[in-house]
Amino acid sequence: MAILAKTPPMGWNSWNTFGNNINEELVKSIADAFIQRGLKDAGYEYIVIDDCWSEKKRDNNGRLVPDKNKFPNGIKALTDYIHSKGLKFGIYSCVGTHTCAGFPGSFEHEFVDAVTFAEWGVDYLKYDYCYKPRNVAGEDLYKRMALALRNCGRNIILSACNWGNDGVQKWIRESGCHLYRSTGDISDNWKSIEGIMLSQLNNACFSGIDCWNDMDMLVVGMSGTGENEHVLSTGCNESEYKTHFSVWAMMNSPLMIGCDIRNMSEQTAAILTNKDIIALNQDIEGRAPYCIRQWNNLDNVFSLIKPLSGDASTTGCDYAVAMVNISDVKAEMSLQFFDIGLPYSSGLGLEFYDCWKHEVIGFFTERASIDIEPHECRVFRCKVKKV
């Protein structure tokens, strides 16, 4: 079986902005915008429709039926259109009898649904956790769908979405899923982003090649707009959205855009297509970051340190360093290089390249002390060099 998720998947999902208001023309226009706004060139490839795409009942053969009003030409015609753009298509179902919005789920229909998705040309399945019968383990249901997909005749990524329940990180890799939600649903505000970020700092090790820790879809660029009341909120400022994107990238979370990319601002486009940040997320080794706290401000300021791929016999291996200030006031992050395995006695230091300013800011030995604005994240790609 091929490795389908060598790096965290990148794409767009309909839920955050549109909720149940999805249709064929919307999804086609999103595919067009992928090309026009440079998202495909930046590495995004999956267009995923979430809940509410099907009729309320299966057909006489027990198969799922696309909503005739929303998708009059069916799903296969839509996937063909998306594939013609060089992109991939994702769809949604649920381990339970019904989806979260009350549409047919895949419980005891896993194998017929997997074949149906394969016939439609689906590349990605988001698999939710609502209306699961009480007396069956969710672990078994994810294994069942993973097995069904592996025998459907098509390579389809399986994205488990059980919101971090049931100790999912302890068993999800063995299930055959390619990514898994580790958190509750995100909202378009700073407190939601901060809460998710902090909840996952100790779980970074439960993520790696072909089974990634999904911290939920991005709200970058939503700015308090959208049709989904479950996600709609106050919005964030540009700095907070940069922090959101930076930390998700550093934590190896899939980067699934949730805003309406057809009318996103230039500032939003610049965040979502920042190739220096995306490169950290898509590093081929998929190393998890580790966290170092600011010694005199433990609750508010920390650094994430991530080893990156490279050849020590030629260019050497870079490190990604993200310095985060979650407090409401300006603060210092002093990173002691001894704490990342680089003692002063080694005769080595670090050259800091700023991934948001796209410039080298200096060469440091023993430590680097950076001032960080409230809710800001400074991200650096660091090269090990001789003093």
Q: What DSSP string describes 9-77?
A: -EEEESHHHHTT---HHHHHHHHHHHHHTTHHHHT--EEE--SS-B-SS--TTS---B-TTT-TTHHHH
Task: State residue 2's pLDDT score.
Answer: 83
Degrees, nearest 5: CA angle 374-375-377? 105
- Exactly one of 32, 67, 80, 185 is catalytic; which is it? 185
Task: State residue 311's pLDDT score.
Answer: 73
Q: What DSSP string describes 300-322?
A: TEEEEEEEEEEETTTTEEEEEEE
pLDDT tens-digit map of 209-246: 999 999 999 999 999 999 999 999 999 999 999 999 99
Within a 13 Å sphere around the CA of 100, how many CA atoms are in the beta-carbon half? 15
Contact by Cβ (8 Å): 259, 219: yes
Task: State residue 381's pLDDT score.
Answer: 98
Task: State residue 271's pLDDT score.
Answer: 98
Task: State residue 310's pLDDT score.
Answer: 82
Task: State residue 145's pLDDT score.
Answer: 98
Q: Is 367 exposed, middle or buried (0-12, 13-18, 19+ CB in 10 A)?
A: middle
Task: State residue 315's pLDDT score.
Answer: 67
Contacts for 24 with CB less than 8 Å, ≥ 6 apart: 70, 71, 72, 73, 77, 78
Please indicate, yes or no, whether the overall pTM of this predicted structure exceeds 0.85.
yes
50 flagged as catalytic: no
128 flagged as catalytic: yes
Contact by Cβ (8 Å): 363, 330: no
- Exactly one of 128, 188, 210, 283 is catalytic; which is it? 128
Task: State residue 134's pLDDT score.
Answer: 93
Task: State residue 78's pLDDT score.
Answer: 98
User: Which amino acid appears at position 233 of this protein?
Assistant: S
Average pLDDT, the chain: 97
Would you give per-residue pLDDT tens digits along the chain (387 residues)? Answer: 689 999 999 999 999 999 999 999 999 999 999 999 999 999 999 999 999 999 999 999 999 999 999 999 999 999 999 999 999 999 999 999 999 999 999 999 999 999 999 999 999 999 999 999 999 999 999 999 999 999 999 999 999 999 999 999 999 999 999 999 999 999 999 999 999 999 999 999 999 999 999 999 999 999 999 999 999 999 999 999 999 999 999 999 999 999 999 999 999 999 999 999 999 999 999 999 999 999 999 999 999 999 999 876 666 789 999 999 999 999 999 999 999 999 999 999 999 999 999 999 999 999 999 999 999 999 999 999 999
Contact by Cβ (8 Å): 260, 268: no
